[in-house]
Amino acid sequence: MMSQETISTGHTFQLPAQLSASIVGAVFPADRDAVATLLPAGLDPIRATRTRAALTVLAVSYDRIGEDTIDPYDEVGVLLPAVETGTRTWPYLSGLRRGVSGYVYTLPVLTEPARAFGVDIWGYPKLVADIDLRDKGRTRHATVTADGQHVLAFDGWRPPTIPARLSGYNYTVKDDQLLREQTRLSGTVGIWPRGHAELAFGEHPIGKRLATVTIDERPLYTVAADCDFEIEAGS
């Protein structure tokens, strides 16, 4: 069902929102109890392995948002792959199927319209930050600084991609309500087991909080996509 949303900057979007982007990311095994403490009520971490949950980083460069409704921007998101409480997950299989879906913990972006686009419509925890995102060969480098403090640094190897259509979901909290947003993607997608990626958190309060989660140095897999995708209204 189509609808319209006008955000605080005056821009109006059709929902489901249509976007086009280049994505490189990694899914890291992470301490299950520590991940659980960062999730809102109603969500549980997935079982990415027999004993570990997951923490995912996605470094994204957008080249179209809506009908070119706002200018292109970059973002670096930290997601906690999760399911609704009581939903069963399976080691490794759930890590593969749900590793880039789940609760969006933080989502630094480059511009105020980009922030309002996510916050006003879905409650995404976006903040305006300085983001240095660049590709060198098959590796994407991303550093994020907010309020003069280092949030995180990420390097991820881009795997080969093939044409694909995928669906997923995000969880956010808006007005104290847990929302689920269906997502759909079409383009070229790649997943590479145990690929190279590095992640470090800084002194910014968000970085400090995420640093309390023990993650493995080597990811479960790295992921890449060059795609069009859409985000439905939350429910």
Does residue 20 contact residue 227 with C-beta atoms inside 8 Å? yes
| Mean pLDDT along residues 66-86 | 96
What are φ and ψ of residue 137, in 5° steps?
Answer: 65, -130
Closest CA to 86 of 57, 129, 48, 43: 43
What is residue 194's predicted lDDT score, i.e. its pLDDT? 86
Which tens digit of pLDDT belongs to each residue from 35-52? 999 999 999 999 999 999
User: In the CATH hierarchy, which top-level class contains the domain 16-228?
Assistant: mainly beta
Radius of gyration of the chain (CA): 16
Q: What is the pLDDT of residue 2?
A: 80
pLDDT > 80? residue 138: yes
Q: What is the pLDDT of residue 146?
A: 98
Model confidence over 155-203: pLDDT tens digits? 999 999 999 999 999 999 999 999 999 999 999 999 999 889 999 999 9
d(CA 63, CA 140): 16
**pLDDT for 218 beyond 80:** yes
User: What is the structure's pLDDT at 60?
Assistant: 98
pLDDT of residue 195: 87
Q: Is the pLDDT of residue 212 over 80?
A: yes
pLDDT of amino acid 139 = 97
- 1 vs 75, higher pLDDT: 75
Q: What is the mean pLDDT of the segment spanning 85-101?
A: 92
pLDDT band at 86 (very low <50, low <70, confident <90, very high): very high
DSSP states of the chain: --EEEE-TTS-EEEESEEEEEEEEEEEEEEEHHHHHHTSPTTEEE--SSSSEEEEEEEEEEEEEETTTTS---EEEEEEE-EEETT----TTHHHHHHTT-EEEEEEEESSHHHHHHHHHHH---EEE-EEEEEEETTEEEEEEEETTEEEEEEEEE----EEEEEEEEEEEEETTEEEEEEEEEEEEEEEEET--EEEEE-SSHHHHHHTTS-B-SS-SEEEEEEEEEEEPPP-
Quote the pTM value.
0.96
Q: What is the pLDDT of residue 188?
A: 98
Distance CA 133, CA 74 (A): 7
Q: Give the start-to-end residue ranges of the domains of the chain.
A: 16-228
Q: What is the pLDDT of residues 12-26, one digit of tens each?
A: 999 999 999 999 999
pLDDT on residue 64:
96
Q: How far apart (Å, rounded) are the C-alpha atoms in residues 218 and 26?
A: 9
